[in-house]
Amino acid sequence: MAESQKPTFREALLNRRILICAFTGFTSGLPLYVLIQLVPAWLRVEGVGLAEIGFFALIGFPYTWKFVWSPVMDRYTLPFLGRRRGWMLVTQIGLLLSIAVLGYIQPALSIWTVAYLAAAVAFFSASQDIVLDAYRRELLPDVELGIGNAIHVQTYRLAGLVPGSLALILADFLPWHTVFLIVALFMLVGIVLTLFIQEAIKNPTPPRTMHEAVIEPFREFITRKGLRSALLILAFMFLYKIGDNMATALSTPFYVDLGFSLTQIGTIAKFASLTAAIVGGIAGGVIMIKLGINRALWLFGVVQVVSILGFAALAEIGADPWALGVVVTLEYLGVGLGTAAFTAFIARTTNPVFAATQFALFTALTAVPRTLANAVTGLIVEQTGWTHFFLLCTVLAIPGMLLLFKVAPWNEQNG
Confidence of residue 1 (pLDDT cuts 50, 70, 90): very low
Confidence of residue 4 (pLDDT cuts 50, 70, 90): very low
Q: How many CA atoms lie within 13 A of 91 on its CB side?
A: 24
- What whole-number distance in Å separates Cα of residue 141 and Cα of residue 302? 27
Check residue 2 and give its pLDDT: 42
Q: What's the pTM?
A: 0.75
Q: Is 318 left (phi over 0), alpha (psi -120 to 50) or beta?
A: left
Contact 162, 99 (CB under 8 A): no
- What whole-number distance in Å separates Cα of residue 403 and Cα of residue 172? 51
Percent of the chain clearing pLDDT 90 (strictly above):
21
H runs (alpha helix) in 9-110: 9-13, 16-33, 39-45, 50-55, 61-64, 70-75, 85-102
DSSP secondary structure string for all residues of 251-294 = HHHHHHHHT--HHHIIIIIHHHHHHHHHHHHHHHHHHHHHH-HH
Report the Cα 187 to chain-centroid distance in Å: 18
Per-residue pLDDT at 69 exceeds 80: yes
What are the CA-CA distances from residue 13 to residues 157, 283, 288, 300, 374 (Å)? 19, 12, 12, 20, 36
In this chain, the answer to whether the domains covering 9-196 and 227-407 adopt an identical fold is: yes
Report domain extents, the chain.
9-196, 227-407
Q: Which residue type, as a one-letter code, is found at position 70?
A: S
Check residue 114 and give its pLDDT: 86
Percent of the chain clearing pLDDT 70 (strictly above):
90
Q: Mean pLDDT throughout 63-81? A: 86
Confidence of residue 123 (pLDDT cuts 50, 70, 90): very high
pLDDT tens track for 301-311 = 888 888 889 88
Check residue 23 and give its pLDDT: 92
Question: Which of the given ranges, 8-22, 37-51, 121-135, 315-329, has the highest pLDDT on average?
Answer: 121-135
Please say whether the structural domain 227-407 has been given the CATH code 1.20.1250.20.
Answer: yes
Contact 217, 74 (CB under 8 A): yes
Q: Which of 74-88, 116-130, 308-322, 343-357 has the lowest mean pLDDT?
A: 343-357
- Pairwise pLDDT comparison (59 vs 188), residue with the higher score: 188
Q: Of 259, 235, 212, 281, which is closest to residue 401 (Cα–Cα)?
A: 235
Which residues lie closer than 8 Å to 260 by C-beta, 6 or more apart? Answer: 268, 269, 319, 321, 324
pLDDT tens track for 229-288 = 889 998 898 888 888 878 876 776 788 788 887 677 767 766 777 777 777 777 777 777
pLDDT tens track for 314-370 = 999 988 888 888 888 887 787 777 777 888 888 888 887 777 888 888 887 777 766
Contact 239, 338 (CB under 8 A): no
- Pairwise pLDDT comparison (43 vs 71), residue with the higher score: 71
Q: What is the CATH code of the structural domain delimited by 9-196?
A: 1.20.1250.20
Write down the mean pLDDT value for the chain.
83
Q: Of 206, 218, 214, which is closest to residue 68 (Cα–Cα)?
A: 214
Contact 392, 247 (CB under 8 A): no
Contact 166, 180 (CB under 8 A): no
Per-residue pLDDT at 191 exceeds 90: yes
H/E run at residue 221: helix 210-225
Q: Of 332, 353, 38, which is closest to residue 219 (Cα–Cα)?
A: 353
